[in-house]
Amino acid sequence: MNVGIIGLGYVGLPLAVAFAEAGHDVVGLDVDPRRVERLQRSESDVEDVPSERIRAVVERFSATTEHAKLADCDAILICVPTPLANQREPDLSYIVDAAHALSGVLKKGQVVILESTTYPGTTRERLLPILEESGLAAGRDFHLAFSPERIDPGRTDHTIRTTPKVVGGLTEACRDRAVEVYSEICDEVVPVSTPEAAELTKLLENIFRSVNIALVNELAMLCDRMGIDVWEVIDAAATKPFGFMPFYPGPGLGGHCIPIDPLYLSWKLKTLNYRARFIELAGEVNSAMPEYVCVKVADALNDRERSVKGSNILVLGVAYKKDIDDVRESPALDIIKILQHRGANVSYHDPFVAELRTEDHGDGHGGGAKLKSVDLLPAVREAHAVVIVTDHSSFQYPKIVEAAQLIVDTRHATKGIVSDKIIKI
């Protein structure tokens, strides 16, 4: 089978390599010529795909910027970004651009599968009409389906092979053809009745996490007022063998999925004159956490007769979760910005992120000041407060606590360490 992948980022590249490793010829397309040039040299910029894996399939994988090379593919997977526009509305421009380019080379018998996370109706209402500008009819001349990506950056216990793949087709034949494609690289494929059902499945998965994280974030604020250790409460509740699933508070949500996906559904429902109040409330609670963390820092400094203004504050970890280099939508960016606006001298240390801009929310091209990761222990000693935002496994927390004047721990990273220097959310 010849497989085409449009978009070679953290979703597309792992898929491309997986198909190549399964013995299929893969054409990977990306609009960024620099990324394509790196991949042509077998150099990966996706942490979950070491360059060695690309070199091992170099005879079956090629990278290009030319859509014409997709014409001979049996299956074409669209794995492009779906960010939010300035008004917090879904930006489908990447999908639309890919569809227009694809419609010019589409051939009979091909199957097109959208993987990009989006709102229910996108495949049928936006992708389908553009592809049919080719003169071919979906369900008759070519197949069309949606299958949500389930990539979790940095995770090794669940892979593309072992993670069940949900597939919804425009017709039964479309669904069956997409199932055949994914069966080559996935042990289990889960068919659903429509593309809309598959699109909403992805949103539900992340809304579930968003709502439950908001619940424990609010519980953390309530426990703080009552003088109760929220971490102890969660751990105790987690001993119940049924009816409870532990979620943990933190400095806010990060990454492309959990902070963004609920807004896709909320936007869609507004077009139907329905307000998703529960989902929106969860978003409000989670979005308020960086401010809450900064208040905790200010209060802790005040107890030590210092103000935020003029204080040296070290942010420990800026990736949106532990042991990866991804800073998209990371709460650390908001925490740094808030503290800077209040006059603090803010630095950061992250072994995975050498530098970042505080205003770009992870795309590397925004405004704001550029910061570089500083040496850890010297910065800890110089800081009036250290804020643990990302609990990387490599951090030696006992040494950090010993060297610090004050620790504000947003991740329960210092569990088991007894010190009056530690303040937890």
Which residues are designated catalytic? 257
Place of tokens 């620099």: 34
Task: Give the residue ranges of DSSP H helices in 183-258.
Answer: 195-226, 230-237
Task: Give the residue ranges of DSSP H helices in 227-354.
Answer: 230-237, 261-270, 277-287, 289-303, 331-341
Distance of CA 369 to the CA centre of its chain: 23
CA gap 283, 200 in Å, rounded = 18
**Contact (CB, 8 A) for 404 and 334:** no
For helices 277-287 and 289-303, angle between their N-to-C axes, nearest 10 degrees: 30
CA gap 240, 236 in Å, rounded = 8
Q: Which two tokens stand for residue 341?
A: 């606006």
Name every residue whose Cβ is closer than 8 Å to that of residue 31 and which is 6 or more positions away in sequence.
65, 97
By three-state DSSP, how is residue 299 classified?
helix
Amino acid identity for residue 258 in this structure? I
Length of the chain: 425
* Residue 222 burial (C-beta neighbours within 10 Å; 0-12, 13-18, 19+): exposed
